[in-house]
Amino acid sequence: MAEKVALVTGGGSGIGKAAAILLAKQGVAVGVLGRTQTKIDAVVSEISDAGGQALALQADVGLEDEMHGAVGHLVKAFGRLDVVVANAGINGTWAPIDDLKPEEWDRTIDVNLRGTYLTLHAAVPHLKRTGGGSIIIISSINGTRTFTTPGATAYVATKAAQVAIMQQLSLELAHHRIRVNAICPGAIDTNIDASTSIRHENETAIPVIWPEGQVPITGGAPGRSEDVANLIAFLASERSGHITGTPIWIDGAQGLLR
């Protein structure tokens, strides 16, 4: 992985932070992109203190000019781009469809789906110039394997769409030697719940008695951000050179219960 350059969106916390730190440990120069300067600066400092290379990129994934500027800055600093981890996302508002407001729908679509599009729109030309690379989109078990989250219509729409984008682009970009895959995590110890607003859950929830602990392999405990980071690092490397167009669920079998 030495001499490779990666862009990690949503890199200031959770899965993005864990991925940025692990990739840097493996010799990758990492662009840590996020909206909050203090958070991405802290991740860059942690990487630098450990002897790695990283660059803080403050940008909103939903804004075209900011994304093109951030990706251009990364490539100018390190000379190339090999890996893109499209991780930035929010849970948004979960509410019954007749209560979910258009602006709440638009906000989730803007971050999760437009953000994924703009990340790839800005990054793919640089991957082509590099002569290949790996794109890893962070989707979810919600919208791809399970549909039991009350009121999460906008969220599951974006997660399902991310997998469709991944499959479409895996063919479109194959002749450029760019691999495209999606990771679909279950419950992971991130702070994404802070971006969740839930209303009238009782109107949309389907009563189900789960087995004790929803994550069988851990006795109910959520997975770690580092578990997903390990998979990201594998998909970013040449060890996964024949894997493209594939959604990979990392949920400890949680989705099979739900």
Spatial CB neighbours of 145, under 8 Å, sequence gap ≥ 6? 184, 249, 251, 255, 258
CA-CA distance, 135 to 199, in Å (whole number)?
Answer: 35
Instruction: Judge whether 137 and 181 are in contact, CB under 8 Å.
Output: yes
155 catalytic? Reply is: yes
| Distance (Å, whole) CA 149 – CA 171 | 31
- Residue 178 carries which DSSP code? E
Are residues 78 and 5 in contact, defined by beta-carbon separation less than 8 angstroms?
A: yes
Per-residue b or e along 101-111, where b marks 16 or more CB atoms closer than 10 Å to that residue's CB: eeebbebbbbb
Catalytic residue among 119, 155, 182, 190: 155
Q: Catalytic residue positions?
A: 155
